[in-house]
Amino acid sequence: MSIASSLVGLDDIRAAAERIAGTCLRTPVVPFVTPEGSVPWAVKAEGLQPTGAFKLRGATNAVALLDDAQRRAGVVTHSSGNHAQAVAYAARVAGVHATIVIPDNAPEVKVAATRRWGADVVMVAPSQRHARAEEIAAETGAALIPPYDDARVIAGQGTVGLEIVEQVPDLATVVVPVSGGGLVSGVAAAVKALRPDVRVVAVEPELAADLAEGWAAGERRVWSVADTSRTVADGLRTDSVGVLNWDHITAYVDDVVTVSEEEILAAVGAVVRGARVVVEPSGAVAAAAVLKGVVGDTAGTTVAIASGANIDPAVLARLV
């Protein structure tokens, strides 16, 4: 099959796991207490990564794969969120210069979090972010590290799936939040290679359900950012999944479901109280799907990936 040969495989993910071991945390799977007879479930606490989100895995793998000339020229990316911090941190650990292009409507707190790791920050109008990052790459020779549509990044995120399979012997279902699709691509590739019997379910906010629409239609769909920006899950506002990500999703994912804004906010509080794990709204959508009762079964353990914990403390206080 022509597509399959271009997909990230188990060997790529296992190699990524070795590369990132010194920088990224092997995060715990924290069980929920559930009544007898209900779905046993747990959260994979990716918010404990040093930058507060799983994104550090893919960024660290991509930086580790640079050749010597690229290391000297540095890296560049565009993001206002968890990927920006991840690339900045991974570059710093590797002793590589990083330039991060950030849209000038990004919150100051996220800009500061990126500068904290020593990255150069370039502020541009939101519509210029892709072009400016590519310009910098062309001018300086810096290697572009895309946030999700990239085999190195997908392999890094896939290490989350490797760990879950190792940590949960009676694993039945893995539930994964989706935006650009980097996490679900890698996790699904890893899980299906090792445990083809385990279900992998992708979850989106109803207000950013481009993948759910595309899944139903059988072709990748792109939404307007004006639409996807409505969701409180600020890490899941990408307008579509990536091309390489679409190929992984159609090859490996079993189902795509959606959750409402109310369900996402309720899940933040439920995860903090029930598993004592801090989670941001984007990181709570998988848990929201479990709590809604639309994924998982009693045949084994369901693991919801709590993908990040970068939440405004005032919002956290309101939701716990």
Catalytic residue positions, numbered: 55, 80
The single-letter DSSP state of residue 75 is E
Q: Report CA 205 to chain centroid distance, whole Å.
A: 14
Instruction: Write down how long the chain is.
Output: 320
Q: Which residues bind a copy of itself (CB under 8 A)?
A: 25-28, 30-31, 33, 45, 47-48, 50, 52, 116, 269, 272-273, 276-278, 309-310, 313, 316-318, 320
Angle CA 54–183–2, to nearest 5: 150
Q: Half-sphere exposure of residue 144, counting CA atoms within 13 Å on the CB side?
A: 19
Helix, coil or strand: residue 313:
helix
Radius of gyration of the chain (CA): 18
- For 21-79, where are the alpha helices, taking DSSP H only? 55-64, 68-73
Q: Distances in Å between the alpha carbon of 106 and those of 29, 71, 78, 190, 308?
A: 32, 28, 12, 34, 18
**Shortest gap between Cβ of 49 and a copy of itself (angstroms)?**
9
CB-wise, 25 or 73, nearer to a copy of itself? 25
Task: Confirm if 287 and 47 have CB atoms less than 8 A apart.
Answer: no
Task: Confirm if 302 and 173 have CB atoms less than 8 A apart.
Answer: yes
CB-wise, 138 or 320, nearer to a copy of itself? 320
**Shortest gap between Cβ of 251 and a copy of itself (angstroms)?**
32
Residue that has been written with the tokens 């209900």 in this structure:
38
**Shortest gap between Cβ of 1 and a copy of itself (angstroms)?**
39
- Sign, CA dihedral 304-266-85-117, equals negative
CB-wise, 94 or 316, nearer to a copy of itself? 316
The single-letter DSSP state of residue 52 is S
